[in-house]
C-alpha cells in the first residue's frame, strides 16, 4: 500500500504538485524514496498545509473525484488552520472503522439519541459525530456548535470565556430537557460542567459517552464514571489530519492507552526536543515507558502526509506486537490548553 501511494503522489505526469516540487527541491527522484527512508523528505511543511491551494496536495489523476471528497480543517491551536481532504473510503478507514471496532469491543450502546457539543463547520469532528451515530443505528446527533477558534482567543475564566461556556451549556440543557438523550459526545471539561447542571435522573439515562478534543486523565475518568453510572465511557485520541485512535481495553490505572487501528496511519514517538528551535530527530525512537513527541505518516490516495510533527507528547506502551500511547500532553515549550473547551 505504501509504495502504491508514493507512486501515485510522486508520478511526474499525474502526481501531486506539492510532492513533485519537494522532490525537485531535495534533488530526489521517485526511485530514491521508499518506506525506510522517508526522513529524506524532511518534516512536513506545516506552513504549506496552511497556505498552498489544497489541489496542490491532491494527485491530478484524482481531480475528477473531488466532488466526492470530504474537506477537513484543524482547530488552529498553533496558528492558521491546516487543511486536507479524504475520499469517502479513507474517511471511513480513519474514523468510522476504528470507532466501530471500539463500539464492538466495549459494547457501546446502539440505536440511542445523541447530543454532540463540539465544533462543526470545517472541523472533521462534527462530520465524524454524525457518522458515528449513524453507524450505530442512531439518528444523527442533536448538536450544539462550538466555535473553538473563538474560544481559544479567550483567557480561561475570563468574562468572554464564561459567557460563551454558559451559552453552550444553556443550549445543551434545553435539548436534554426536551429529548430522550442517551449518548453524549463532547470534551471532558464541557462534560463535567454539563453534568453539574443535569439532574440525577438525566445522568442515569446516559448509556454511552464519547469524549474527545483533549486529554482525559484517570481522575476525570473516575469522576465521570461516578456521575454517569449507567454509561460506557469511550475516550478517543485523534485530529483532523490523521483520524482517531481508541483503547484496546478499558482504561488502566495509568490512564487510557490508544492504539492506531488504520493501516494507512503510522504513528510513533521520537525524542523530545529541548527547545522549539531544536530540529526534530526524524529517525530517532524512544524506549518503552519513555515520553516522546508524536509524529505520523498517513498514506492516503487523496492526500499524503509524511513526517507530520504533532505538538502532542505521549508515553510509549506496547501490548503484544502493537505499540500504543498514553498520557497525552503538550510540548513543554508550548502553551498548555488547560481549561480549554476543545
pLDDT band at 333 (very low <50, low <70, confident <90, very high): low
**DSSP secondary structure string, 59-110?**
-GGGGGGGGGPEEEE---TTSSPPEEEE-HHHHIIIIIHHHHHHHHHHT---
In a 13 Å sphere around the CA of 31, the CA atoms on its Cβ side amount to 0
SS3 state at 54: helix
Instruction: Output the CA torsion 185→179→147→194 (10° steps).
Output: -60
pLDDT band at 342 (very low <50, low <70, confident <90, very high): very low
The H-or-E segment that residue 197 falls in is helix 188-197
How is the chain split into domains, by residue range? 90-247
Q: How many other β-carbons are positioned within 10 Å of the β-carbon of residue 174?
A: 12
The CA distance from 134 to 140, in Å, is 6
Instruction: Report whether pLDDT(169) > 60.
Output: yes
pLDDT mean over 297-315: 96
pLDDT mean over 143-166: 86
- The better pLDDT of the pair 278, 79 is held by 278
- The better pLDDT of the pair 253, 59 is held by 59
The percent of residues above 90 in pLDDT, for the chain, comes to 73
pLDDT band at 318 (very low <50, low <70, confident <90, very high): confident
Instruction: Report whether pLDDT(204) > 70.
Output: yes
pTM above 0.85, yes or no: yes
What nine digits make up the cell of 322? 502493537
The CA distance from 176 to 271, in Å, is 45
Least confident of 35-49, 170-184, 263-277: 263-277
pLDDT mean over 120-141: 92
Q: What per-residue confidence (pLDDT) applies to 336?
A: 39
SS (H, E, C) 106-160: HCCCCCCCEEEEECCCCEHHHHHHHHHHHHCCCCCCEEEECCHHHHCCCCCCCHH
- The better pLDDT of the pair 199, 339 is held by 199
Q: What per-residue confidence (pLDDT) applies to 1?
A: 83
Q: What per-residue confidence (pLDDT) applies to 74?
A: 87
pLDDT band at 123 (very low <50, low <70, confident <90, very high): confident
Superfamily of domain 90-247: ANL, N-terminal domain (3.40.50.12780)
pLDDT mean over 185-197: 94
Amino acid at each position: 500500500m505504501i509504495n502504491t501511494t508514493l507512486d501515485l503522489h510522486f508520478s511526474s505526469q499525474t502526481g501531486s504538485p506539492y510532492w513533485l516540487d519537494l522532490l525537485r527541491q531535495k534533488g530526489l527522484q521517485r526511485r530514491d524514496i521508499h518506506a525506510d527512508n522517508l526522513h529524506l523528505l524532511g518534516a512536513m511543511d506545516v506552513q504549506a498545509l496552511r497556505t498552498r491551494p489544497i489541489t496542490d496536495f491532491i494527485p491530478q489523476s484524482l481531480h475528477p473525484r473531488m466532488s466526492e471528497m470530504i474537506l477537513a480543517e484543524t482547530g488552529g491551536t498553533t496558528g492558521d488552520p491546516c487543511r486536507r481532504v479524504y475520499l469517502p473510503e479513507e474517511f471511513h478507514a480513519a474514523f468510522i472503522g476504528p470507532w466501530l471496532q471500539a463500539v464492538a469491543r466495549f459494547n457501546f450502546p446502539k440505536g440511542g439519541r445523541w447530543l454532540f457539543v463540539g465544533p462543526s463547520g470545517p472541523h472533521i469532528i462534527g462530520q465524524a459525530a454524525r457518522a458515528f451515530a449513524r453507524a450505530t443505528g442512531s439518528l444523527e446527533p442533536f448538536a450544539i456548535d462550538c466555535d473553538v477558534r473563538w474560544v481559544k482567543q479567550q483567557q480561561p475564566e475570563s468574562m468572554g470565556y464564561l459567557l460563551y461556556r454558559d451559552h453552550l451549556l444553556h443550549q445543551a440543557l434545553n435539548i436534554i430537557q426536551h429529548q430522550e438523550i442517551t449518548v453524549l459526545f463532547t470534551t471532558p471539561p464541557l462534560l463535567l460542567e454539563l453534568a453539574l447542571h443535569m439532574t440525577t435522573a438525566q445522568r442515569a439515562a446516559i448509556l454511552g459517552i464519547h469524549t474527545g478534543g483533549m486529554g482525559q486523565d484517570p481522575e476525570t475518568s473516575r469522576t465521570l464514571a461516578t456521575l454517569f453510572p449507567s454509561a460506557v465511557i469511550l475516550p478517543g485520541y485523534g485530529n483532523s489530519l490523521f483520524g482517531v485512535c481508541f483503547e484496546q481495553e478499558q482504561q488502566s490505572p495509568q490512564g487510557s492507552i490508544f492504539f492506531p487501528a488504520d493501516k494507512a496511519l503510522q504513528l510513533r514517538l521520537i525524542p523530545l526536543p529541548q527547545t522549539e528551535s531544536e530540529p526534530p530527530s526524524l529517525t530517532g525512537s524512544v524506549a518503552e515507558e519513555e515520553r516522546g513527541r508524536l509524529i505520523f505518516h498517513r498514506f492516503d490516495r487523496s492526500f499524503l502526509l509524511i513526517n507530520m510533527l504533532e505538538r502532542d507528547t505521549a508515553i510509549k506502551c506496547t501490548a503484544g506486537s502493537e505499540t500504543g500511547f498514553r498520557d497525552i500532553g503538550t510540548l513543554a515549550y508550548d502553551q498548555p490548553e488547560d481549561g480549554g473547551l476543545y
